[in-house]
Amino acid sequence: MIHHDDRARVSEFSQSCFDQQRVMFQYVPHRYWKINGDISYVQVHAYVSYNSDGLPLKMVGIVRDITEQHLLTMYLQKAIERYDLVSKATSEILS
């Protein structure tokens, strides 16, 4: 199940793609509640077919778990922030 804090964003993105009758799209990364209660970060690639009225008829795709990639990215961003703080402090001390 999509995390409640991400539902509106995912729903708006889906509706926008359907309104544009996009056949292939990649959802924005979002959180997903697993059956065991854990949260994972996923990315969905979808293919949609539409009926003659332009309404979505069928959607197939894949869900890719990007949790490890997301956590590593967050860790790297925090490390860069710490580095920038230390670098700035060091520059101020030396000047």
pLDDT (tens digit, 0 to 9) for every residue of the chain, 95 residues total? 899 999 999 999 999 999 999 999 998 899 999 999 999 999 999 999 999 999 999 999 999 999 999 999 999 999 999 988 888 888 878 77
Compute CA distances 36 → 9, 43, 73, whole Å.
24, 19, 24
51's tokens: 């009926």
Cβ–Cβ under 8 Å, residues 42 and 28: no
Report the helix count and the strand count for the chain, using DSSP H and E.
Answer: 2, 4
Work out the burial of residue 42: count CB atoms within 10 Å of its CB; fewer than 13 is exposed, 13-18 middle, 19 or more buried.
buried
User: What is the pTM (predicted TM-score) of this model?
Assistant: 0.70
